[in-house]
C-alpha cells in the first residue's frame, strides 16, 4: 500500500540561508531571538550573520567545507548556523553531551576542520582535546559567560561559574569577536539546492551506529515549505516560539529554528530543560508556538503546580520523535488550551514525514497523514520489494523532497537504506483507507517472545493508561524459556503511588499473556537522549550489566 500526493505541489526550494535573508528583508525591526532577556532583531541577526560568514570565509570556509557546531541553544547557535551556510559550508551538528571519543569519531568521519563551541567546562575541553588528534584544525570559541553579563543572575541559576573554563590563546583558536570583526560583505556563493549538502546530521542513535545523513538545501528547505503549508493559520511576523529542544538535533533545527525564522517568529532560546523554569517562562513570555517531544509535555504535566501558570498563549505544539501518549496530549491541551500536533519523522527525512490534521481532532493512535509531496509506502517485512494492502503491517518507507541524499561516505549503508528508491525507516506500521499512518514499532525494538512478535510500544501504551504512570519504557531481555521477554521501567506521578504488583494486575486486563512484562522496575528517572527521548539503548545496556553482575555473584545457601 502506498499513500500520498502523486503531484508534487510547488514547494519553494532555495538555499537555506534565503529563509533568513527573506525574513530580514520583511521583518527587519521585529525580534528574531531572545536569550535571557536580550533580543536580536531580524536586521541585527542578518548583520551579525553576514559578518560571521565573512569571518568563516577568511578562515578558509568555502562551498562544501565541513564546520561543526557543538553548542547548546544560544544566539551563537543561530548566528553560526546561518553564517556557515552563507559562507557555503556544511553544518555538522555535534551533540555537546557526547564524550570525547564520540566527538572525535564524528569529527574524523565527517572531515570537520573547524568547530564552533562555547567556553563551558563540560564541552570545550572535549573539543580542545581533538585538536592535533583528529582532522580538526581550529576552534571558534563563543564566550557564553562574558557576552551576556546582563543575564548574570539567571545564568548563575542555570550554570555555576565553575562550569565555565578558560580557553587557550593560540593560532588554532578564534574568538567569536574576532570571527565577526571584518565588516566587509561575504563573497556570494553559488549553491545548487538539489545537490549541495546543507547539514550533515548524525542520526540520533537510539539504535544502531551513528551515521551522517546528508541533508541537502533542498531537503531542508522542502521540509520547511511543507510545514508552512501544513501550519496554514499561523501569522508570519506575529508568532513567538519557545525553543528548548536542542538545535543540534534535526527536529528542533527544522521545526524550531528554520521554520520559525521562515515565518519571522521571535525565538526564545533556552539552553536546557528545567520544568519549573519552563512553566515560569511560558507564563511570562507568552509564546504561541512550543515544539517539543512527548517527554517534555509529560514532565510539565507531572508538575503539581502547573495549574498556577497561565499557558493560554500557546496555540500550537508540534510534537514528534517518540509516541505521544493520548493522556499526555489531552492533559496538556486541557491545561493550556493549545493544540498538540503529533507528527512523525526521522533524521533521514529532514525530519518530518507526516502529521495529524491541524483543523480537526487527531485520529487515535495515528501519526497523521503524509505531508504534501510525500509518499508513504508500507512494504512487506518478508520481501520489501512488495507493498502490502491497506491495513496490513509492514515497513514504513518514504519518498519525498525531504528525503536525504544518503549517508556521508557510506555507499553500502546508503544502498541498504533505500528500496526501489524509497527510504526504509525501520519503523513498522500500517495505513488506513484515509492515508493515516499508524506506527506499531521499530524493526529493531521488536521482542521475539515464544514465537510471537511483541511490540514494546503496545505495552508502554497500556502502562500509560494507568493513572499513576508518568513515563514508561519497555525492552526485551533474554529468557531461557521464551527466547526473549519484555520488562518495563516506569516513573510514577509525584502525587500517586502504585506497586509493581498493582501495575501487573492492571496490565492483565489490557494485554495478552505474552505481552505482560516479566518485571516492572519503578524508578525515579529514566535515561534520555539529548532531545528527551527515553534511551532504550542505555536501558538495554544497564539491564545487561545488572544481569551479568547477578550471575557472577556467588550463590548464597539459606
Interface region with ligand AMP, contact rule CB under 6 A, candidates 27-35, 343-351, 411-419, 538-546: 343-351
Establish if 315 lies at the interface with ligand AMP (CB under 6 A).
no
Establish if 109 lies at the interface with ligand AMP (CB under 6 A).
no
Beta strands across the sheet bearing 212-216 = 173-175, 138-142, 114-118, 66-70, 90-93, 197-202, 212-216, 406-407
* Residue 275 parent element (H or E): helix 275-285
Which SS3 state, helix, strand or coil, does residue 71 take? coil
Residue nearest to ligand AMP (CB): 204
289 DSSP 8-state letter: B
Establish if 323 lies at the interface with ligand AMP (CB under 6 A).
yes
- Residues between 193 and 222 that touch ligand AMP (CB under 6 A): 203-204
Tell me how far, at minimum, the Cβ of 451 lies from ligand AMP, in Å: 24
Going by C-alpha positions, the residue among 207, 297, 289, 199 that lies closest to residue 249 is 199
Tell me how far, at minimum, the Cβ of 2 lies from ligand AMP, in Å: 18
- Residues between 405 and 434 that touch ligand AMP (CB under 6 A): 425-427
Establish if 367 lies at the interface with ligand AMP (CB under 6 A).
yes
Establish if 362 lies at the interface with ligand AMP (CB under 6 A).
no
Instruction: Tell me whether residue 143 or residue 527 sits nearer to ligand AMP (CB atom).
Output: 527
Establish if 461 lies at the interface with ligand AMP (CB under 6 A).
no
Exposure string of 274-305, with b = 16+ CB inside 10 Å and e = fewer, is eeeebbebbeeeebbbbbbbbbbbbbbbbbee
Interface region with ligand AMP, contact rule CB under 6 A, candidates 120-128, 231-239, 264-272, 314-322: 314-322
Establish if 113 lies at the interface with ligand AMP (CB under 6 A).
no
Beta bridge partners of 476: 486
Beta bridge partners of 193: none
Going by C-alpha positions, the residue among 428, 434, 371 that lies closest to residue 402 is 371
Tell me how far, at minimum, the Cβ of 284 lies from ligand AMP, in Å: 30
Establish if 395 lies at the interface with ligand AMP (CB under 6 A).
no
Establish if 398 lies at the interface with ligand AMP (CB under 6 A).
no
Establish if 89 lies at the interface with ligand AMP (CB under 6 A).
no
Separation of alpha carbons 204 and 210, rounded Å: 7
Taking the C-alpha atoms of 60, 64, 67 and 73 in order, what is their torsion angle to the nearest 10 degrees? 130
Instruction: Tell me whether residue 120 or residue 340 sits nearer to ligand AMP (CB atom).
Output: 340
Establish if 321 lies at the interface with ligand AMP (CB under 6 A).
yes
Going by C-alpha positions, the residue among 345, 376, 366 that lies closest to residue 438 is 366
Question: How many residues line the site for ligand AMP (CB under 6 A)?
Answer: 19
Tell me how far, at minimum, the Cβ of 309 lies from ligand AMP, in Å: 26
Say if CB 87 and CB 114 are below 8 A apart: no
Establish if 128 lies at the interface with ligand AMP (CB under 6 A).
no
Establish if 245 lies at the interface with ligand AMP (CB under 6 A).
no
Roughly how many angstroms between the first and final C-alpha of the chain, as a whole number? Answer: 60
Establish if 320 lies at the interface with ligand AMP (CB under 6 A).
yes
Q: Which of 246, 264, 325, 351 binds ligand AMP (CB under 6 A)?
A: 351
257 DSSP 8-state letter: I
Strands 316-319 and 339-345: parallel
Beta bridge partners of 3: 376
Establish if 322 lies at the interface with ligand AMP (CB under 6 A).
yes
Please give the residue ranges that form the binding site for ligand AMP (CB under 6 A).
203-204, 251, 320-323, 342, 344-347, 351, 367, 425-427, 439, 442
Amino acid at each position: 500500500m502506498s499513500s500520498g500526493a502523486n503531484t508534487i505541489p510547488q514547494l519553494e526550494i532555495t538555499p537555506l540561508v534565503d529563509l533568513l535573508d527573506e525574513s530580514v528583508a520583511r521583518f527587519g525591526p521585529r525580534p528574531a531571538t531572545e536569550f535571557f532577556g536580550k533580543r536580536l532583531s531580524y536586521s541585527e541577526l542578518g548583520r551579525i550573520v553576514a559578518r560571521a560568514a565573512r569571518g568563516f570565509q577568511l578562515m578558509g570556509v568555502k562551498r562544501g567545507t565541513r564546520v561543526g557546531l557543538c553548542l547548546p541553544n544560544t544566539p551563537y547557535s543561530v548566528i553560526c548556523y546561518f553564517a556557515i551556510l552563507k559562507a557555503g559550508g556544511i553544518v555538522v551538528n555535534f551533540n555537546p553531551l557526547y564524550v570525547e571519543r564520540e566527538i572525535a569519531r564524528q569529527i574524523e568521519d565527517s572531515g570537520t576542520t573547524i568547530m564552533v563551541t562555547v567556553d563551558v567546562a563540560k564541552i570545550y575541553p572535549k573539543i580542545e582535546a581533538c585538536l592535533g588528534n583528529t582532522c580538526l584544525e581550529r576552534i571558534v570559541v563563543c564566550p557564553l559567560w562574558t557576552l551576556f553579563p546582563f543575564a548574570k543572575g539567571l545564568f548563575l541559576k542555570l550554570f555555576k561559574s565553575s562550569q565555565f573554563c578558560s580557553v587557550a590563546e593560540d593560532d588554532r583558536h578564534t574568538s567569536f569577536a574576532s570571527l565577526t570583526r571584518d565588516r566587509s560583505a561575504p563573497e556570494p556563493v553559488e549553491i545548487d539546492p538539489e545537490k549541495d549538502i546543507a547539514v550533515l546530521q548524525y542520526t540520533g542513535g537510539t539504535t544502531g551506529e551513528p551515521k551522517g545523513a546528508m541533508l541537502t538545501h533542498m531537503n531542508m528547505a522542502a521540509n520547511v515549505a511543507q510545514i508552512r503549508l501544513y501550519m496554514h493559520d499561523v501569522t508570519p511576523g506575529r508568532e513567538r516560539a519557545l525553543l528548548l529542544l536542542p538545535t543540534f538535533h534535526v527536529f528542533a533545527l527544522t521545526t524550531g529554528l528554520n521554520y520559525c525564522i521562515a515565518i519571522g517568529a521571535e525565538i526564545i532560546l533556552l539552553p536546557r530543560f528545567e520544568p519549573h523554569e519552563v512553566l515560569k517562562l511560558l507564563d511570562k513570555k507568552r509564546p504561541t508556538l512550543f515544539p517539543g517531544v512527548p517527554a517534555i509535555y509529560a514532565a510539565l504535566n507531572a508538575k503539581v503546580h502547573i495549574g498556577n501558570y497561565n499557558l493560554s498563549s500557546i496555540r500550537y505544539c508540534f510534537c514528534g520523535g517518540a509516541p505521544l501518549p493520548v493522556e499526555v496530549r489531552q492533559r496538556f491541551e486541557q491545561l493550556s488550551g493549545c493544540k498538540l500536533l503529533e507528527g512523525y519523522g526521522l533524521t533521514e527525512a529532514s525530519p518530518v514525514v507526516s502529521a495529524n490534521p491541524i483543523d480537526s481532532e487527531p485520529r487515535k493512535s495515528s501519526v497523521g497523514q503524509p505531508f504534501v509531496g510525500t509518499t508513504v509506502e508500507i512494504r512487506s517485512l518478508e520481501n520489501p520489494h512488495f507493498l502490502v494492502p491497506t491495513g496490513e503491517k509492514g515497513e514504513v518507507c518514504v519518498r519525498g523532497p525531504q528525503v536525504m541524499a544518503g549517508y556521508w561516505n557510506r555507499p553500502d549503508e546508503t544502498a541498504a537504506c533505500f528500496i526501489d528508491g524509497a527510504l526504509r525507516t525501520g519503523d513498522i506500521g500500517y495505513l488506513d483507507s484515509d492515508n493515516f499512518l499508524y506506527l506499531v514499532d521499530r524493526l529493531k525494538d521488536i521482542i521475539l517472545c515464544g514465537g510471537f512478535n511483541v511490540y514494546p510500544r503496545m505495552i508502554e501504551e497500556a502502562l500509560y493508561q494507568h493513572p499513576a504512570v508518568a513515563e514508561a519504557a519497555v525492552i526485551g531481555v533474554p529468557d531461557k524459556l521464551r527466547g526473549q521477554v519484555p520488562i518495563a521501567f516506569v516513573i510514577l506521578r509525584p502525587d500517586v503511588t502504585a506497586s509493581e504488583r498493582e501495575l501487573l494486575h492492571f496490565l492483565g486486563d489490557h494485554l495478552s499473556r505474552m505481552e505482560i512484562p516479566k518485571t516492572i522496575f519503578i524508578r525515579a528517572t529514566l535515561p534520555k537522549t539529548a532531545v528527551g527521548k527515553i534511551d532504550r539503548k542505555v536501558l538495554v545496556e544497564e539491564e545487561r550489566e545488572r544481569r551479568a553482575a547477578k550471575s557472577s555473584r556467588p550463590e548464597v545457601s539459606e
